Amino acid sequence: MPAARRPEVTAAPGREARPFAEAVPSRGAIRIENVVKVYGGRSGAVTAVDGCSLDIAAGEIFMVVGPSGCGKTTLLNAVAGFHDISAGRITLDGQVLCDGTHPQAPRGPDRVVVFQNGALFPWQTNLENVIFGPVMQRKLSKRDATDKAMDMMADAGLSGIEHSYPAEVSSGVRRRVEIVRALMNDPKVLLLDEPYRALDALTKSVMHEALLRIYYKNKVTIFFITHDLEEALFLGHKVAVMTTRPCRPKTILTVDIPHPRDYSVLTSKRFRELTRETSAAVHEEALKAFQSGEREG
Amino acid sequence: MTASAKAAPALSFARGVVSIAVLLLLWEVGARSKHWMTGELFAPLRAILQALGFKPHHLPLVGAAPPPSGVLRSWAAIVTDSGYWQSWAKSFLRVAAGFTAAMLVGIPFGLLLAVNRTAFGVAFPLFEVLRPIPPLAWVPASIIFWPTQELSISFVTFLGAFYTIVINVVGGAKAIDVRYFQAARAMGSSRWDVFRRIILPGTLPSIVVGAVVGMGITWEVVVAAEMISGGGSQIGGTGGGGLGFFIWNSYVGGSYEQIVVGMISIGIAGFISSELLRLLGRRVTPWLTPR
Amino acid sequence: MLTGFGLFLGGWYLAVEVWRLPRFAEMPGLTVVVKEWLSKDPTYGLSLYTPEYYQHIGRSVWRVAQAFTLATVFGVPLGLFLGWSRRFRDHVFPVFELLRPIPVLAWVPLAIVMFVASESAVIYLAFLASFFATALNAMLGVKSIDESYLRAAECLGASRSQVFRHVILPGALPFIFTGLQISVGVAWFSLVAAEMVSGQYGLGYVINTSYSMVRYPTIIIGMITLGVVGYLTSAMVRVVGDLLMQWRVRELALRGQA
């Protein structure tokens, strides 16, 4: 296997450069225990999630792979607090987010979501978007928030577009801005709902490396939903392959390719082995979904 | 579904009913202020009103209006009068005539503008310049031009809905995704086919929206025209009748309760027409409503 | 582009003054109207050179301005709340929807009865039509906001009032401005009708009295003036909207080029 390249860690003036190996994550561990979610639709009850249990370690990149409409977004929404759950329990660092007595988790800046179609506010500039969180929560003054934002955006390679509107930059850039907007709040967990779905394959691979670079600096727990197995294996520490509705983990595997990773991993032997191991399972579920005519979301 | 979710529609309905009841109550009390405001108890209130420049005999605005109880009584009396229902019929006929004309002329015209670039270039600027002129401003010119009163009213009614329908048709046709056309051409459709199978159905939702809005405008114009021509202003004539005329007549005759009866009647009539249109629209565009 | 106008004006001229078609016998001809409009001493008293002309325009515009302002000040917040709060909508929307189908002009007699001054009655009528259009569009504007924006704001720690100010308000702005453009048009519509029925001064009044006093060219002058002024007020609203929504202007420009 080719030697992994150490990612460049550049320091903005006034900030210490911390190589990733020294950062110790201690928060953001999620436990999903036997969660059930039933929707009462017009055509009757639909069980989106049934008895799903997942364990996500703090500081881990946890990928959830499954065919469209299988219910994985429901899981993310439950963790984020957008839906309630019908049964089961979800805890964050030991504290209960939602359970039988409080079926809906509170929404908050400890678990920030990056949305599938992007949710940067079109009526604010990129910079205004990025400082939105800390300013709204009154954690930072506007000036301090702007300074921090400029730093983080520069780190993420986003200098120069701060005063443009989201519509004026490419979708790849928009995604990165949205991720920086999320990270400005120092969240415990970053919830990503198929953020790169709409991007072309070339942009995607660049985005992956960019995400990893950001991760190595920030060590936040990442809960990432995708239908792209390759994306999952490239990014994740752990990959959970989910069944079609009702959603449950079919297999969970640990990706033992060491971090830091770069695109050369994609052609490595171990990567190909892992792909072979898991693609059969993924394909089986995809076929089931196709046959039952699953619709989006 | 949780219990609270199930109860939600019932709760919404209840809240609405309560609000309407409260409103009716306030209206009733306010309209009767002529009676209860005369006592010594309300002398300060009268003084305040006088200071503000209002008449001290009753509450401003609502005090001059007839109370709902009076309106109900008036309605009960009128329901058996055939003249009342004839007014309904007359207004409905006028609305139907003007609206149908607007649709028959407006839809093809709009489609022509959307499809043919030269037609658009010639006609649309003229259309946009004439559009800001309120239809009612056309009434005198219309009376001068058309031989009968009825025709002149119909013309004005037609104008009102015509603008809305054309705008919606043009907008709808332009919004049809270019890829549908490309797909059709790739599959070998002729121009007529493209028109029939893509442009027409693609524009249907906008036509429906334009029709519903146009229907509302038609009622406005019909009522106004009936009031203007039936009475009140200098544009006199024998062609009267209809609910607008009914309202004006009630006013002239001093029967204020009947005014409100007329207003509510028109409201109901307008609502019925719009709902019918919306139902028809839903049948014509089955792909828009899931299941 | 000018061919349309040319055909229309040409047709008008020909029909009335050259061929003298029977239908058009009483219609004022194009040249007559233009001459009257531009004359320093008009036969019927109104032209670009008479102060009364501008008095009437000013009166109508002032009325519309009042009605429109009131409708916006009351309608936008009402519409926003209707869209935002389920509870508020439950209470208020039924009343709103019961009153809306009543054509504005059906209110004329009642308005005359209720309002002591006829000026207030006229403004009330223009206000009413405007108000419903504005409130409805504001409500639709709120509903049109993608749920993701609201969720994102909540994730980022915004309180309810912050969500309202920073997401709902700007998010609904495009719809609100479309509504405002419609509402200006609707205000003119109702104002003219109200002026024709009751009132002194104003363009609707001019058109009405010109008819009864057999001053036909003035009718046409009134109509054209209404068209121009109506268009200008609508354009003003659009310009203000564009100023407030810079992001949208830029986005649309990009899309146009794309």
Do the Cβ atoms of A240 and A226 come closer than 8 Å?
no
Q: Which residues of A touch B5 (CB under 8 A)?
A: 40
User: In angstroms, what separates the C-alpha of A210 from chain C's closest C-alpha?
Assistant: 22
* Residue C60 predicted with pLDDT over 70: yes
**Residues B281, C14: Cα–Cα separation, whole Å:** 42
C-beta atoms of B291 and A84 within 8 A: no
A29, two tokens: 């561990």
pLDDT at C77: 94
User: Which A residues 33-52 touch B at CB under 8 Å?
Assistant: 40, 42-43
In a domain, B68, yes or no: no
* Shortest CA distance from A46: residue in chain B: B1
* Residue C206 predicted with pLDDT over 60: yes
Alpha helices in A138-194 (DSSP H): 142-155, 171-183
Confidence of residue C71 (pLDDT cuts 50, 70, 90): very high
* Residue B2 predicted with pLDDT over 60: no
The per-residue b/e assignment along C151-186, b for 16 or more CB within 10 angstroms, e otherwise, is bbbbbbbbeeebbbebbbbbbbbbbbbbbbbbbbbb
* Shortest CA distance from C173: residue in chain A: A123
* Residue A64 predicted with pLDDT over 90: yes
pLDDT at B230: 60
C1 part of contact set with chain B, CB < 8 Å: yes
pLDDT at A34: 86
* Residue A212 predicted with pLDDT over 70: yes
**The residue type at A89:** R
pLDDT at B234: 36
pLDDT at A2: 44
* Shortest CA distance from A45: residue in chain B: B1
Which range scores top for mean pLDDT: B25-39, B148-162, B199-213, C77-91? Answer: C77-91
User: In angstroms, what separates the C-alpha of C212 from chain B's closest C-alpha?
Assistant: 6
User: Closest to B134 (Cβ–Cβ): which among C107, C188, C210?
Assistant: C188
Query: How many CB atoms are closer than 10 A to CB B122?
Result: 20
Confidence of residue A232 (pLDDT cuts 50, 70, 90): very high
Mean pLDDT of all residues in A96-112: 88
Confidence of residue A129 (pLDDT cuts 50, 70, 90): very high
Task: Please choose, from the candidates B23, B14, B30, the residue with its C-alpha nearest in 3D space to the C-alpha of residue C95.
Answer: B23
Q: How far is CA C207 from the centre of its chain?
A: 18
Question: Does B79 lie in the same domain as B216?
Answer: yes
Mean pLDDT, rounded, of chain C: 85
C36, two tokens: 């009257």
C179, two tokens: 């509504």
Dihedral in degrees, nearest 10, Cα atoms B247, B252, B253, B255: 50
* Residue B92 predicted with pLDDT over 60: yes
User: In angstroms, what separates the C-alpha of A249 from chain C's closest C-alpha?
Assistant: 26
pLDDT tens-digit readout, B190-229: 777 777 888 888 888 888 888 888 888 888 888 888 887 6
In a domain, B258, yes or no: yes
**Residues A95, C99: Cα–Cα separation, whole Å:** 51
pLDDT at B3: 44
In a domain, B65, yes or no: no
Going along chain C from its start, the domains and CATH numbers come out as 1-28 (no CATH), 39-257 (1.10.3720.10)
In a domain, B63, yes or no: no
Lowest mean pLDDT among B114-128, C76-90, C140-154, C162-176: B114-128
Considering its fold, how many domains does chain B have in total? Answer: 2
In a domain, B167, yes or no: yes
* Residue ranges of E strands in chain A: 30-41, 44-56, 61-65, 87-92, 95-98, 111-114, 189-193, 221-226, 238-242, 249-254
* Residue A223 predicted with pLDDT over 90: yes
In a domain, B121, yes or no: yes
**Residues A207, A202: Cα–Cα separation, whole Å:** 9
In a domain, B289, yes or no: no
Do the Cβ atoms of A48 and A247 come closer than 8 Å?
yes
A168 part of contact set with chain B, CB < 8 Å: no
C-beta atoms of C8 and B124 within 8 A: no
pLDDT at C159: 92
C51 part of contact set with chain B, CB < 8 Å: no
Do the Cβ atoms of C234 and B137 come closer than 8 Å?
no
Do the Cβ atoms of C107 and B263 come closer than 8 Å?
yes
Q: Give the residues across from A220 on adjacent strands.
A: none
Mean pLDDT of all residues in C212-218: 83
B36, two tokens: 């209860």
pLDDT at A295: 56
pLDDT at C112: 85
Task: Please choose, from the candidates B35, B29, B24, the residue with its C-alpha nearest in 3D space to the C-alpha of residue B72.
Answer: B24
Question: Does B111 lie in the same domain as B20?
Answer: no
Mutate to test the interface with C, among A77, A111, A113, A123 (most CBs of C within 10 A): A123
Question: Does B202 lie in the same domain as B267?
Answer: yes
Question: Does B141 lie in the same domain as B15?
Answer: no
* Residue C46 predicted with pLDDT over 80: no
* Residue A8 predicted with pLDDT over 60: no
Confidence of residue C143 (pLDDT cuts 50, 70, 90): confident
C242 part of contact set with chain A, CB < 8 Å: no
pLDDT at B239: 40
Alpha-carbon distances, residue A86 vs A35, A96, A98 (angstroms) = 7, 15, 10
Percent of chain C with pLDDT over 90: 24
Mean pLDDT of all residues in A273-285: 87
pLDDT at A288: 83
Question: Does B153 lie in the same domain as B17?
Answer: no
* Residue C256 predicted with pLDDT over 90: no
Q: In 3-state terms, what secondary structure has residue A252?
A: strand
**Residues C42, C222: Cα–Cα separation, whole Å:** 14
Contacts 24+ apart (CB under 8 A), B282-287: B284/B204, B284/B208, B285/B201, B285/B204, B285/B205, B285/B208
Confidence of residue A120 (pLDDT cuts 50, 70, 90): very high
* Residue C61 predicted with pLDDT over 60: yes
Question: Does B260 lie in the same domain as B123?
Answer: yes
Question: Does B229 lie in the same domain as B121?
Answer: yes
Confidence of residue A26 (pLDDT cuts 50, 70, 90): low
pLDDT at A42: 65
* Residue A130 predicted with pLDDT over 90: yes
The three state secondary structure string of B161-208 is HHHHHHHHHHHHHHHCCHHHHHHHHHCCCCHHHHHHHHHHHHHHHHHH
Does B239 or A146 have the greater pLDDT score? A146
Question: Does B40 lie in the same domain as B103?
Answer: no
C-beta atoms of A42 and B291 within 8 A: yes
Q: Which residues of B touch A40 (CB under 8 A)?
A: 1, 5
Q: How far is CA C22 from the centre of its chain?
A: 36
C-beta atoms of C103 and B266 within 8 A: yes
Domain holding B193, by residue range, is 75-284
B251, two tokens: 């006013």
Q: What is the CA radius of gyration of chain B?
A: 25
Alpha helices in chain C (DSSP H): 2-13, 30-38, 51-84, 86-99, 108-114, 118-144, 147-155, 160-163, 169-197, 203-212, 216-244, 246-257
Task: Please choose, from the candidates C219, C194, C235, the residue with its C-alpha nearest in 3D space to the C-alpha of residue C105.
Answer: C194
Domain CATH for B186: 1.10.3720.10
Does A266 or C22 have the greater pLDDT score? A266
Does A132 or B184 have the greater pLDDT score? A132
Confidence of residue B279 (pLDDT cuts 50, 70, 90): confident
pLDDT at B240: 54
Q: In 3-state terms, what secondary structure has residue B6?
A: helix
Going along chain A from its start, the domains and CATH numbers come out as 23-110+187-291 (3.40.50.300)
pLDDT at C68: 95
Question: Does B186 lie in the same domain as B143?
Answer: yes
Question: Does B173 lie in the same domain as B100?
Answer: yes
* Residue C105 predicted with pLDDT over 90: no
User: In angstroms, what separates the C-alpha of B290 from chain A's closest C-alpha?
Assistant: 10
Mean pLDDT, rounded, of chain A: 84
Question: Does B117 lie in the same domain as B256?
Answer: yes
Q: Which DSSP helix (H) or strand (E) runs through B35?
A: helix B33-36
Alpha helices in A71-166 (DSSP H): 72-80, 126-136, 142-155
* Residue C171 predicted with pLDDT over 50: yes
Complex ipTM > 0.90: no
* Residue C216 predicted with pLDDT over 50: yes
* Residue A61 predicted with pLDDT over 90: yes
According to DSSP, residue B236 is labeled -
In a domain, B62, yes or no: no
Confidence of residue C153 (pLDDT cuts 50, 70, 90): very high
pLDDT at B290: 59
Do the Cβ atoms of A214 and A8 come closer than 8 Å?
no
Mean pLDDT of all residues in C125-139: 91
| Dihedral pair phi/psi, residue A88, rounded to 5° | 100, -165
* Residue A277 predicted with pLDDT over 50: yes
* Residue A282 predicted with pLDDT over 80: yes
Percent of chain A with pLDDT over 90: 29
Lowest mean pLDDT among A177-181, B22-26, B55-59, B118-122: B55-59
Lowest mean pLDDT among B109-123, C139-153, C166-180: B109-123
pLDDT tens-digit readout, B238-261: 345 788 888 888 888 888 888 899
Do the Cβ atoms of B161 and B106 come closer than 8 Å?
yes
Question: Does B119 lie in the same domain as B15?
Answer: no
Mean pLDDT of all residues in A275-296: 80
Which range scores top for mean pLDDT: A68-77, B76-85, C65-74? Answer: C65-74
Mean pLDDT of all residues in B108-135: 85
pLDDT at C64: 93
